[in-house]
Amino acid sequence: MTPTDNNFQNILKYKIIDDSSDGHFQDVERNKKVFSDAVHYSVDLLRKNDCINDTSDTIYQESVGLGQKFYEVLLKTRQKYMLKKLNQTWNIEQGNNLTSELVKNEPSDYRNRNTQAYAVDYSEYQASMRRQIYPNSVQLPNSVFGNGNFDTADRFTIDSDDDDDDRFNKQFGYTSKSLKYEFVPYEEKLRIINMARDNPDWTMKTLRERSGCKHVMNRDQLQRWEEQLEIGGTREDRRKAINSWVYAKCIDYKNRNKKINNQLLKKWALEAASVCLPPKNNPNNEFRASSWWMLNFKNLHGITGPSSDLQINVQPDPRYINGIGPSGEPSFHMPVHNPSQDYLNIDVETLEKNEIQLMSNSSGHTSGFFDPSISGLIKRHEKGVTFEEKLRVVNLSRANPTWSVKMLREQSGCKQLTQIELLRRWEKQVTSGGSSADKIKKINQWVFQRCIEYQKKNYTVTNKTITSWAFDAKRELMMQNTTFTPSAGWLERFKNKYNIVGNPFDLKIKD
């Protein structure tokens, strides 16, 4: 459809609003009823042929996306139908006369443009008219379809606006750039989650403003981030930690004048993956130190030379900084570090023993240095350690304050205790009643016991019932300060974990 056709279509709609004739008003109301009946009839046909089910208490994000597409198709169909009916009652001459009047009264800002820019800017003029006609029409924001790891930087794209005056695009939030996504790093998510925990009364708007993080959207997103942090971050976060591990080994070998080859890189990567991406916990996300990974790793860190004698250069290839190769293809999200700085402080011998100790060296750096990429590895060591186990280790440490971490690990039998920072972390968790994962586990167990009780008494359990119990569990277990909310995602995970099946209005625990 050409811009002229679009203009004419909106002109006819504009006439619908302005016209006060009873006859035309009745025609419009009749046409709306015909269209409404058609929509309801199509839904009845779908239900009759077993193509759809009744609505449920929860809705998947995928359903929201499909629903938005259905809405747009139906809206276009309705507009075409209404236009067709109007063409039967209005002649083109009246429409053309009305066009002249509208053009006379339109803002001069729309008229004083070249032809191409005029078409682009006039589309907003049309949109403003559509908002008058359909004031209750809602366009769902792009953020509805996000997964929590990425944030939409540019919501709309206009490629045809090539004039030098970009005031219109700036005014309405449009951009001539293509749609892009921004990666939210592990450390940023951790910072936001800690702020949310320390300030449970803050609204999302306050948290976004105080943190300066534009990616904070809603509490469901915070819940997803919290769950990601408990397992060591997203896949990209964990692969970033693998790169940090391997690069630290490279620097250590360089400082000791040892040769580095491709086989060593692969070996170190697999060692790091056993901690960051254990196959038992990530069956569908097994890391392979492939040739493609090795090529990216070398480019990211400026590693050159033959495969049997690799050289660690001070400055990596600038084309690969921030994980983007010269072809524009994305690589791993791994920031480039200067070998002459932070990584010289890492004692890699302890990495081999999973001790992950950070020490000072002869350059005069303080021993308090702690790289966030390596701290992620430490947090992963506590995965699988129950709250009771942490409590036992903490109590043993308090009873024996002179014990080293190694002695405490041997006496307690807790192999996951590899670092003093990990012990300090457990002490804080014990004081606050456990980590977020510990608290969610307690809530899940409390809710599941209610499900068992109801099933024994042949009471009906629904999605709403389980969600309500989750709120009750927070209150009964005195966890009101936790950021946990029984979202739709949590509900699905809970049902899968405890093998709860059936329709949303009659759930059963499957044997």
Tell me whether residue 286 is in a domain. Answer: yes
The answer on pLDDT for 511 being more than 50 is: yes
Choose one of 107, 141, 175: the last residue of a domain.
141
Per-residue pLDDT, 232: 65
Same domain, yes or no: 323 and 261: yes
Q: Quick check: is 228 in a domain?
A: no
Tell whether 496 is covered by a domain: yes
**Residue 221 domain-assigned?**
no
Most confident of 69-83, 368-382, 457-471: 457-471
Statement to judge: residues 319 and 288 lie in one domain = yes
pLDDT band with cut points at 50, 70 and 90 for residue 380: low
146 domain residue, yes or no: no
Structure-block tokens of residue 160: 């045809």
Q: Please check the confidence at residue 208 and state whether its pLDDT lies above 80.
A: yes
In a domain, 163, yes or no: no
The predicted pLDDT at position 451 comes to: 92
User: How far apart are the C-alpha atoms of 260 and 308, rounded to whole Å?
Assistant: 7
Q: Indicate the length of the chain as a whole number.
A: 511
Do 8 and 118 lie in a common domain? yes
Regarding beta strands 500-503 and 506-509, do their DSSP bridges make them parallel or antiparallel, or are they unpaired?
A: antiparallel
Q: Which of 95, 119, 141 is the last residue of a domain?
A: 141
The answer to whether the CB of 264 falls within 8 A of the CB of 255 is: no
Closest CA relative to residue 312, chosen from 297, 302, 320: 302
What's the confidence (pLDDT) of residue 24? 53
Beta strands in 123-200 (DSSP E): 150-152, 181-183
Element (H or E) spanning 37, and its range?
A: helix 22-48
Residues 265 and 366 in one domain: yes
Question: Which carries the bigger pLDDT value, residue 219 or residue 157?
Answer: 219
pLDDT of amino acid 321 = 39
Would you say residue 508 has pLDDT above 70? yes
Query: What CA–CA distance (Å, rounded) separates 471 from 477?
Result: 10
Q: Which pair of tokens denotes residue 293?
A: 């990974």
Per-residue pLDDT for 361 more than 80?
no
396-441 pLDDT per residue, tens = 888 888 888 888 888 888 888 877 778 888 888 877 777 777 788 8
pLDDT in tens, 293-304: 888 888 887 888
494 in the same domain as 461:
yes
pLDDT band at 342 (very low <50, low <70, confident <90, very high): very low
Q: What is the pTM of this model?
A: 0.31
Residue 418 included in any domain: yes
- pLDDT score for 414: 86
Which tens digit of pLDDT belongs to each residue from 58-72?
677 777 778 888 888
253 and 318 share one domain = yes
Looking at the structure, tell me whether residues 488 and 453 fall in a common domain: yes
Domain boundary among 357, 376, 395: 376
Q: How far apart are CA 174 and CA 359, in angstroms?
A: 50
Q: Containing domain of residue 311, as a range?
A: 235-376
Interstrand relation of 311-312 and 303-304 (parallel, antiparallel or unpaired): antiparallel
pLDDT in tens, 226-277: 877 776 667 777 777 788 888 888 888 888 888 899 989 988 888 887 766 5
Both 14 and 123 in one domain: the answer is yes
Number of folded domains that form the chain? 4
- Examine the domain organization and report whether 338 and 427 are in the same domain: no
Same structural domain for residues 36 and 82? yes
pLDDT score, position 500: 92
Residue among 141, 380, 120, 360 nearest 273 (CA): 380
Query: Which residues neighbour 63 within 8 Å (Cβ) at sequence distance 6 or greater?
Result: none
Nearest CA-CA partner of 337 in 407, 247, 417: 247
Whether pLDDT at 120 is above 80: no
- Better pLDDT: 269 or 358: 269
Same domain, 29 and 121: yes
Cβ-count burial of 468 within 10 angstroms (0-12 exposed, 13-18 middle, 19+ buried)? middle
Whole-angstrom distance, CA of residue 19 vs CA of residue 104: 19
Q: Which two tokens stand for residue 289?
A: 């130190």
Name the strand (E) or helix (H) holding 506.
strand 506-509
Q: Which residue has the higher pLDDT, 410 or 169?
A: 410
**Is 200 part of a structural domain of the chain?**
no
What is the Cα–Cα distance from 245 to 253, expressed in whole angstroms?
A: 13
With a pLDDT cut of 70, the percent of the chain lying above it is 57
State the pLDDT at residue 383: 61
Question: Which residues 6+ apart lie within 8 Å of 130 measured at CB?
Answer: 10, 13, 137
At residue 447, the pLDDT reads: 93
Q: Are residues 394 and 320 in the same domain?
A: no
Contacts of 506 (CB under 8 A, 6+ apart): 460, 461, 462
